[in-house]
Each structure stands twice: as C-alpha cells, then as structure tokens.
Amino acid sequence: MAVIQALNLTKVYNESEVPVRALHNINFEVTDGEFTAIVGPSGSGKSTLLHILGGLDRPSEGKVTVGGVNLNLLSSTKLIEFRLFNIGFVFQAFNLIPVLTARENVEFIMLLQKRSAQERIKRGQELLDAVGLSNRADHRPVQLSGGEQQRVAVARALASRPKFVLADEPTANLDSKAAGNLLSIMSDLNKKLGTVFLFSTHDERVIHRARRVITLRDGEIESDKNNSR
C-alpha cells in the first residue's frame, strides 16, 4: 500500500531574476515498511523533495498524497495539523528544545496533540527505552552528546505514531560510531514497528543500510533501485 505518492512534482524558485528549477516532473511511490534513501550531489533537489513530501513546502506543479490525502488541498492551518499527526521529522541540526529534558522533548509532540499525561509518560518512556536513553531521560540537550541528541530526535519523531518519518541528513553531524548506532536503532524500529523511514542523504553509511535508493540529479530522478547487499 502506498504511504506517499508524488505525481509530476515540479518546484521552481522565483526569488531572483533568474528562476531556479529545483525539481522537475518527479514521480514515485513509497509503500508500507520502506527504509529508503534519496541521494544525489549537492543541489540535486534532495532536501527540497523531502520538504515537499513532508508538507513543509508546496510544489509549483504536481501533487503529493500521504495516506490518500492530497496535501495541495489543505490550508496552511490544516497542513500544520496534518503534519502533527501523520509525519515525523528528524533534522541534521537535531532541533531539540534546549530548556526541556530528553523526556520532555519526546513528550512535547504529544502535548501539542493534547494526549493525556498518562499516555505521554508511558509513550515517552517506551521510546526512550527503544533508543537506549532511559538513563538519560532527565538530561537537557546540552548535557547529551550529538549522537544522544539525535536519538532523542528520533524518539520525538516517532512519538506521534506517524505514517512515516522524514530524516534530512540525520548523520551529518555524527561520528562513525554514533552514526552507526543511530542507523541500527532506526533500522530496528522500522522492522519492529513497520514505520516508513525516508532519508535525504549523501552519507554512504545511510545508503548502505537503505533497502531502496532513489538518485536525483539536477532535480530529476536519475535512478530508482533496490539496494542489493
């Protein structure tokens, strides 16, 4: 079953005298349980595509559907609400709230969803256990290593029980050991929970772990292959 469908996606930025075409006529589907990497050189359109798929940006042409919902048809307010309940995000810069503990950062999404305190505490603890940080739950981001902060970000992304998780260069600021640990955790969660993970990356460590690799070049899909290992 298709979780995400991209149909004839084109994105043109008109912020300068010369329009910049970031994406051109992108078509593909992502189905249940995928662990997929979108790769390509800098400027190929990876992050732009990920942002459009996650409803953080809108295409100039074409459409994106998530779970059968056409994101183009949602107002800005409805799109924010849709993201809150359906899409998890993991960013290169972690984006944790500095004044909150690891546990509070994970629970924050559920607070926005107006989940009960009992549910937030239970779900938050389960996710911190899953990413191996139950003993760091009361630490603030500044007290955590980069790898630990990114693991909190993964737990937070999963807190809302999203249809899929978008990870934009999640290993870029991590050393080899931390990146390997993070990828193992995400792969295990993908297999156990069936959560779709879609990465934008140029990191060979991520590409090696992915089961499908979509390569972009100059805003177009150059190849779309199953990753044989």
| Alpha-carbon span 88 to 78, nearest angstrom | 16
> What are φ and ψ of residue 33, in 5° steps?
80, 5
Q: Which numeric CATH code is attached to 2-226?
A: 3.40.50.300
Give the chain's count of helices (H) and strands (E): 7, 10
The per-residue pLDDT for 193 is 85
Domain coordinates of the chain in residue numbers?
Answer: 2-226
Instruction: Check whether 200 has a pLDDT greater than 80.
Output: yes
Average pLDDT over residues 1-20: 88
Instruction: Check whether 229 has a pLDDT greater than 70.
Output: no
| DSSP E strand boundaries for the chain | 2-13, 20-31, 35-39, 61-66, 69-70, 87-91, 164-168, 196-200, 212-217, 220-226
The per-residue pLDDT for 214 is 96
Q: Are 79 and 55 in contact (CB under 8 A)?
A: yes
| Alpha-carbon span 76 to 56, nearest angstrom | 10
Summarised one tens digit per residue, pLDDT across range 96-106 is 999 999 999 99
Q: Of 74-88, 107-121, 158-172, give the lowest mean pLDDT range.
A: 158-172
Average pLDDT over residues 166-193: 88
Q: What is the pTM of this model?
A: 0.90
The per-residue pLDDT for 30 is 94
Cα 32 to chain center, whole Å? 15
Summarised one tens digit per residue, pLDDT across range 25-66 is 999 999 999 999 999 988 899 999 999 999 999 999 999 999
Q: How confident is residue 172, by pLDDT bands cut at 50, 70 and 90?
A: confident
DSSP structure class, residue 103: H
Average pLDDT of the residues of the chain: 91
